[in-house]
């Protein structure tokens, strides 16, 4: 079996479409080599070896060693250097790279091949002793940390000490002799930890390979995969890339950088990047030195700058996507070390996808698939309240690394941030700079602020990927992790105090600022969504109770109202006393009198909704919750309410007691209420039909009201309430002399209704799955109390998703599927929708599309998300 893939001189054994076995980095190095782009030669050990390694008790396939030896030999031939050769030493980098990019999650070792002999050779070869010993000490540090587990900080301390002794501040101020001494310091550190640095370069190579494969299962890599929903077994593992070293730190005609073919924050088609003269790659990524903008390279070396720009363009056209490229310049010669599809903000993802269609590089389907439903959600996401932010105090400014506004309490430690988040606190994680160990805390935070690092530093890249607001490199800030505070000028912010950050402007504010969601769809998002509309089969409606919500939803593209929960209007100030009078009525007459007062108010509500929706379908549900929800339970409110409805406190208490149920969610609610009190259904029908009639008469607006009966489990329940509704509606319509059609349908939210959907469809003219209740009753999980144990279920892997957020495909989903099939078998033109929370969840929408539903209905802000998710479901 082939385990090792070689690449050099415009010829590679791998290709871009071999990501699964070469990892993203390896596949792209091979592809670029084939394209004739200047890539240093090397070879990739496949991800299949990683899988083998873990399947076989951390051992390698028998023939791996031979294949690595052969590849190494070829590499030595093409470079004219040899691993361990004291005259012409070959130096390589050893890097991880899985099929999915996991920035900084796994290990990298540079300058491998240096030892006490080869370092002398390198010094002679480059005529630069300082450079050689700097490379050596870096290698000792990385190798010790990565392959042997010696804490990174120990090496840093030794370096600091040397600088202190010499009275200098910067690494570059240390000369060759200082670095030689530092090498000896480092070796001492190895000894102190009971380790020995292998002078045998071949041993170094295998130790590094072991370390990279070992890093696949390290804590932070596992955590990264968890956070990014990469399942175990989804990837084979990491590949190991062994690539000839090129040096960006051999002098001022050298350097290293990272560039994007478009701006990864805004998506604008402008090359974007950073460059650091006389530096090695990790100096940029670690955010230790702050690099200069890419354009500066033009001044330093215009030829190389132009070559880079032309390669950027070629790579983008070739991959048909925005590329994130790492490059190094060694003595004026450009090398490309890596290219990959660049991580980008949600805003940029949308703009780039739309622009690439306009540029003819991809088609509309591809554009729709490139954007994650969450991207659409995020661009509609928080900004600061305009007024509040005007008066807020800017205490610092950093780089706007990941857009959006966030406000929270300051914590300096990732673990603590996670803990506080669990306690329900809004957290802003503040760090000098972040490293992969901080990823858990970054994920828990509302936003991230760092004092150091550039736009491609760890904090910036990871925050963008997470869609978290982040401000990085706010250099005025001095973080004191010991005292748990940071200082900017004379302002001191202590742990637990509020700050706010704006990842769009880079501003850092003192105190809490309310965040608000932006309104309206425009520009590229709007265009992308119209493409989604052309593609999708599922309709998208909204759950809205009042005209204001309906209006927002229409602007977001809702094609109707899938659920109006009428009882929400009952809580309005002017209604609640009337509702209560209806509930405490002792006789039917009393109840009808109270209902008669409610009728005109409800009718106005519905007119408002119908007017806003301008002829689009509007589904209105009859009263659903148990009546006790409308009555007070606190002693101190009893008196006021008793007066309000004209009974004694004692009487009110006894009514509340009578209404008390041990299990109200399974109690007297839904159609059970209108079966007991048909007069409520009569009033609501009058309000709905009356509103439609009046709108037709007064404003010539056509409406087709859909009256929905909740919580039906047995066809006879539906029959009974439907009869009441129909008699009322038909009489009104007849009296009006207007031609009005309306529909009567039902929620399917009790398992029995799904099972007997064929019968129920004989009466129901439409179905809407209430997946909230259906989940509650199928699992037998109380939707209001599930928080007591669900987090543990998720943690222990008993359930993969919160079933109230994302549909349970195998269980609840099967009821939805069965109900749809049975219903449509009885009534061919039966319209079937869903109006539970799942209607706005992309993963659930995938299922609803496959199950043959006609539409989903969700809260207004999720309508755009549902439009894109529905389109993706059909592609």
Numbered residues of the known binding site for substrate: 565, 621, 749, 770-773
Torsion angles phi and psi, residue 861, rounded to 5: -70, -15
Taking a C-beta distance cutoff of 8 angstroms, is the pair 698, 609 a contact?
A: no
Residues in the interface with Mg ion (CB under 5 A) total 3
Measure the CA dihedral 137/141/142/146, to 10°: 150
Annotated binding site for Mg(2+): 749, 773
- Three-state DSSP class for 546? coil
Question: In this chain, which stretch among 24-32, 548-556, 732-740, 762-770 interacts with Mg ion, using CB under 5 A?
Answer: 762-770
Question: In this chain, which stretch among 185-193, 660-668, 748-756, 823-831 interacts with Mg ion, using CB under 5 A?
Answer: 748-756
Which is nearest to 771 in space by CA: 790, 786, 751, 794? 751
Active site residue 835: yes
By CB under 6 A, tell whether 841 contacts ligand PEP: no
Taking a C-beta distance cutoff of 8 angstroms, is the pair 286, 110 a contact?
A: no
Of the residues 254, 259, 564, 835, which is catalytic? 835
**Which are the contacts of 586, defined by CB distance < 8 A and separation ≥ 6?**
none
For Mg ion, the binding residue among 773, 837, 841, 854 (CB under 5 A) is 773
Q: CA–CA separation, 323 vs 313, rounded Å?
A: 9
Q: How far is the CB of 871 from ligand PEP (least distance, A)?
A: 24
Question: In this chain, which stretch among 97-105, 127-135, 412-420, 768-776 interacts with ligand PEP, using CB under 6 A?
Answer: 768-776
What does 549 interact with, of Mg ion, ligand PEP, none (CB < 5 to 8 A by kind)? Answer: none
Of the residues 421, 458, 628, 838, which is catalytic? 458
Site for Mg ion in 589-618 (CB under 5 A): none
- HSE at residue 329, side-chain half, CA atoms within 13 A, is 24
- Pair type for strands 470-472 and 399-402: antiparallel
What does 545 interact with, of ligand PEP, Mg ion, none (CB < 5 to 8 A by kind)? Answer: none
For ligand PEP, the binding residue among 256, 771, 778, 844 (CB under 6 A) is 771
By CB under 6 A, tell whether 773 contacts ligand PEP: yes
Question: In this chain, which stretch among 366-374, 450-458, 658-666, 767-775 interacts with Mg ion, using CB under 5 A?
Answer: 767-775
Q: Where are the beta strands (DSSP E) in 474-580?
A: 478-480, 485-488, 491-494, 498-502, 507-510, 515-516, 539-543, 561-565
Q: How far is the CB of 669 from ligand PEP (least distance, A)?
A: 9
Which is nearest to 816 in space by CA: 803, 806, 826, 807? 807
Question: In this chain, which stretch among 47-55, 78-86, 770-778, 801-809 interacts with Mg ion, using CB under 5 A?
Answer: 770-778
By CB under 6 A, tell whether 745 contacts ligand PEP: no
Q: How far is the CB of 743 from ligand PEP (least distance, A)?
A: 18
By CB under 6 A, tell whether 772 contacts ligand PEP: yes
By CB under 5 A, tell whether 837 contacts Mg ion: no
Residue whose tokens read 């070390």: 337
Which is nearest to 495 in space by CA: 412, 618, 598? 412
By CB under 6 A, tell whether 813 contacts ligand PEP: no
If the CB atoms of residues 421 and 838 are measured against ligand PEP, the closer one turns out to be 838
Residue whose tokens read 């309206």: 520
By CB under 6 A, tell whether 836 contacts ligand PEP: yes
CA angle 625, 837, 761 (to 5 degrees): 70
Q: How far is the CB of 624 from Mg ion (least distance, A)?
A: 6
By CB under 6 A, tell whether 549 contacts ligand PEP: no
For Mg ion, the binding residue among 264, 408, 560, 770 (CB under 5 A) is 770
Torsion angles phi and psi, residue 79, rounded to 5: -90, -15
Instruction: Count other Cβ atoms within 10 Å, centred on residue 540.
Output: 32
By CB under 5 A, tell whether 833 contacts Mg ion: no
CA distances from 63 to 18, 229, 438 (A): 21, 34, 39
By CB under 5 A, tell whether 749 contacts Mg ion: yes
Which is nearest to 503 in space by CA: 464, 454, 452? 464
By CB under 5 A, tell whether 418 contacts Mg ion: no
> What does the binding site for ligand PEP look like in residue numbers (CB under 6 A)?
563, 565, 624, 749, 770-773, 835-836
Catalytic sites, residue numbers: 458, 835
> What does the binding site for Mg ion look like in residue numbers (CB under 5 A)?
749, 770, 773
């Amino acid at each position: 079996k082939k385990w090792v893939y070689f690449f050099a001189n415009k010829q590679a054994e791998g290709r871009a479409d071999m990501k699964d076995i070469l990892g993203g980095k390896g596949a792209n190095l091979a592809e670029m080599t084939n394209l004739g782009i200047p890539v240093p030669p090397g070879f990739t050990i496949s991800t299949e070896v990683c899988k083998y390694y873990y399947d076989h008790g951390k051992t390698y396939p028998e023939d791996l060693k031979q294949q690595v030896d052969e590849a190494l030999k070829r590499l030595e031939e093409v470079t004219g250097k040899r691993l361990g050769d004291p005259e012409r030493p070959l130096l390589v980098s050893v890097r991880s790279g899985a099929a999915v990019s996991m920035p900084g999650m796994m290990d990298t070792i540079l300058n491998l091949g240096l030892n006490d002999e080869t370092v002398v050779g390198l010094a002679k070869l480059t005529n630069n002793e300082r450079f050689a010993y700097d490379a050596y000490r870096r290698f000792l540090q990385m190798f010790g940390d990565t392959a042997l587990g010696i804490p990174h900080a120990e090496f840093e301390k030794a370096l600091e000490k040397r600088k202190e002794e010499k009275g200098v501040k910067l690494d570059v101020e240390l000369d060759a002799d200082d670095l030689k001494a530092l090498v000896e310091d480092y070796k001492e550190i190895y000894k102190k930890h009971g380790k020995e640095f292998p002078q045998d370069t071949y041993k170094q190579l295998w130790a590094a390979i072991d370390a990279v494969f070992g890093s696949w299962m390290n804590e932070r890599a596992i955590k990264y995969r968890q956070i990014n929903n990469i399942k175990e077994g989804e990837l084979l593992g990491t590949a190991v890339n062994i690539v000839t070293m090129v040096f960006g730190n051999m002098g001022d005609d050298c350097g290293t950088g990272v560039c994007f073919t478009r701006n990864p924050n805004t998506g604008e088609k402008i090359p974007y990047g950073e460059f650091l003269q006389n530096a090695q790659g990790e100096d940029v990524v670690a955010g230790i030195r702050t690099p200069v903008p890419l354009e500066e390279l033009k001044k330093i070396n215009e030829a190389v700058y132009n070559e880079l720009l032309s390669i950027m363009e070629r790579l983008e056209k070739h991959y048909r996507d925005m590329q994130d490229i790492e490059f190094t310049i060694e003595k004026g010669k450009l090398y490309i070390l890596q290219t990959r599809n660049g991580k980008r903000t949600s805003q940029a993802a949308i703009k780039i996808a739309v622009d690439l269609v306009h540029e003819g590089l991809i088609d509309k389907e591809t554009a729709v698939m490139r954007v994650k439903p969450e991207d659409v959600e995020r661009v509609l996401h928080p900004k600061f309240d305009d007024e509040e932010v005007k008066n807020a105090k800017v205490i610092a400014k950093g780089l706007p690394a990941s857009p959006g506004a966030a406000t929270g309490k300051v914590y300096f430690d990732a673990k603590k941030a996670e803990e506080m988040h669990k306690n329900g606190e809004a957290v802003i994680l503040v760090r000098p700079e972040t490293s992969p160990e901080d990823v858990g805390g970054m994920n828990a935070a509302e936003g991230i602020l760092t004092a150091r690092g550039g736009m491609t530093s760890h904090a910036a890249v990871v925050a963008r990927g997470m869609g978290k607001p982040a401000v990085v490199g706010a250099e005025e800030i001095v973080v004191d992790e010991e005292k748990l505070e940071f200082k900017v000028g004379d302002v001191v912010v202590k742990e637990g105090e509020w700050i706010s950050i704006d990842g769009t402007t880079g501003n850092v504010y003192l105190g809490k600022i309310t965040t608000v969601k932006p309104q309206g769809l425009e520009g590229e998002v709007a265009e992308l969504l119209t493409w989604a509309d052309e593609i999708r089969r599922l309709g998208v409606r909204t759950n809205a109770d009042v005209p204001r919500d309906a209006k927002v939803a229409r602007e977001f593209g809702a094609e109707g109202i899938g659920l109006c929960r009428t009882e929400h209007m009952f809580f309005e100030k002017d209604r609640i006393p009337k509702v209560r009078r209806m509930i405490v009525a002792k006789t039917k007459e009393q109840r009808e009198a109270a209902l008669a007062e409610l009728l005109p108010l409800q009718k106005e509500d519905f007119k408002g909704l119908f007017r806003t929706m301008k002829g689009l379908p509007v589904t209105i549900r009859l009263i659903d919750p148990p009546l006790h929800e409308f009555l007070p339970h606190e002693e101190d409110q009893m008196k006021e309410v008793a007066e309000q409805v004209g009974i004694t406190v004692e009487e009110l208490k006894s009514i509340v007691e009578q209404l008390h149920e041990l299990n109200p969610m399974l109690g007297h609610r839904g159609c059970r209420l209108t079966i007991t009190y048909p007069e409520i259904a009569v009033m609501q029908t009058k309000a709905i039909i009356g509103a439609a009639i009046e709108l037709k008469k007064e404003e010539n607006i056509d409406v087709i009201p859909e009256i929905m009966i909740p919580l039906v489990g047995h066809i006879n329940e539906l029959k009974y309430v439907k009869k009441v509704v129909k008699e009322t509606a038909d009489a009104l319509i007849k009296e009006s002399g207007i031609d009005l059609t309306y529909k009567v349908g039902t929620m399917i939210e009790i398992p029995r209704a799904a099972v007997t959907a064929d019968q129920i469809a004989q009466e129901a003219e439409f179905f809407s799955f209430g997946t909230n209740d259906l989940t509650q009753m199928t699992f037998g999980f109380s939707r209001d109390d599930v928080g007591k144990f669900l987090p543990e279920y998720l943690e222990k892997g008993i359930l993969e998703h919160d079933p109230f957020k994302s549909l349970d495909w195998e269980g609840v989903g099967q009821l939805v599927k069965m109900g749809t099939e049975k219903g449509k078998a009885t009534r061919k033109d039966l319209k079937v929708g869903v109006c539970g929370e799942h209607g706005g969840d992309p993963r659930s929408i995938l299922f609803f599309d496959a199950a043959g539903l006609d539409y989903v209905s969700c809260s207004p802000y999720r309508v755009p998300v549902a439009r894109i998710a529905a389109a993706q479901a059909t592609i």
